[in-house]
């Protein structure tokens, strides 16, 4: 996956309440864990952004499959490398 596609997913992860509520599967690209979207119930709120918080590690690095991308370990790893390495 190219950097432009990763950037689009990253930006979407910062405020995606509608997409996450319609997702079946989501994943955290910080801890590389996939989960049912209904497991995400906490949200980070700040002046700049609102985003879902991972129930496993507590970061707001969640993406849902309703964003149009299959949630795979490969995708989560690529995003982790780009944004946390």
pLDDT tens by residue, 62-77: 898 988 889 999 999 9
Q: How far apart are CA 65 and CA 6, in angstroms?
A: 14
Mean pLDDT (whole number) for 28-54: 79
Nearest to 26 by CA among 49, 60, 3: 60
Per-residue confidence band for 81, with pLDDT thresholds at 50, 70 and 90: very high
Residue 80: pLDDT over 90: yes
pLDDT of the residue at 52: 82
DSSP string, the chain: --HHHHHHHHHHHTS-HHHHHH-SEEEETTTTEEEEGGG--EEEE-SS-EEEE-TTT--S-EEEGGGSS---HHHHHHHHHHHH-
**What's the mean per-residue pLDDT of the chain?**
84
Kindly state the tokens that stand for 74: 């490969």
């Amino acid at each position: 996956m190219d950097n432009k596609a990763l950037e689009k997913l990253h930006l979407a992860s910062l405020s995606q309440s509608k997409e996450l509520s319609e997702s079946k599967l989501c994943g955290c690209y910080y801890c590389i864990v996939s989960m049912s979207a209904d497991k995400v119930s906490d949200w980070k709120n700040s002046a700049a952004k609102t985003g879902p918080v991972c129930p496993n590690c507590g970061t707001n690095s969640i993406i849902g499959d309703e964003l149009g991308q299959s949630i795979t370990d490969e995708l989560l790893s690529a995003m982790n490398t780009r944004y946390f390495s």
